Amino acid sequence: DTAVSQTPKYLVTQMGNDKSIKCEQNLGHDTMYWYKQDSKKFLKIMFSYNNKELIINETVPNRFSPKSPDKAHLNLHINSLELGDSAVYFCASSQAGPGREQYFGPGTRLTVT
């Protein structure tokens, strides 16, 4: 049973296209996150939702739009893709409350050509 799943795992697309990455967790967690990991492996928080409400929105181009239809899903839609968007995108979830670790999805490697 996959705790946090992401689809697709690999995504190759051309500049200017619009794409979405889906994330689902079956852990019953309240909070979900999107991270971007660049080629140097640096993990950067992008967004966080708690009970479908946006609570963290770091400095991210507005071409990136998260959508949380329910507590178990947090999708990431990217408009007008650019070369610099190439990275691995991780979805994660955690239970609210102190000390709770994050559970990560397998990541989506996005390549923009």
Partner 1 sequence: AQTVTQSQPEMSVQEAETVTLSCTYDTSESDYYLFWYKQPPSRQMILVIRQEAYKQQNATENRFSVNFQKAAKSFSLKISDSQLGDAAMYFCAYRSANTGNQFYFGTGTSLTVIP
**3-state secondary structure at position 25:** strand
Least separation in angstroms between residue 60's CB and partner 1 is 14
* Residue 12 in contact with partner 1, rule: CB under 8 A: no
Candidates 17-25, 47-55, 59-67, 77-85; binding stretch for partner 1 (CB under 8 A):
47-55
Residue choice 25, 31, 68, 75 for contact with partner 1 (CB under 8 A): 31
Report the distance separating Cα 11 and Cα 110, nearest Å.
5
Q: Calculate the alpha carbon distances from 18 to 9, 10, 25, 63, 107 in Å.
A: 17, 15, 24, 9, 19
* Residues listed for the chain: 113
Residues that bind partner 1 (CB under 8 A): 31, 33, 40-43, 45, 48, 50, 55-56, 88, 90, 92, 94, 96, 98-104, 106-107, 109
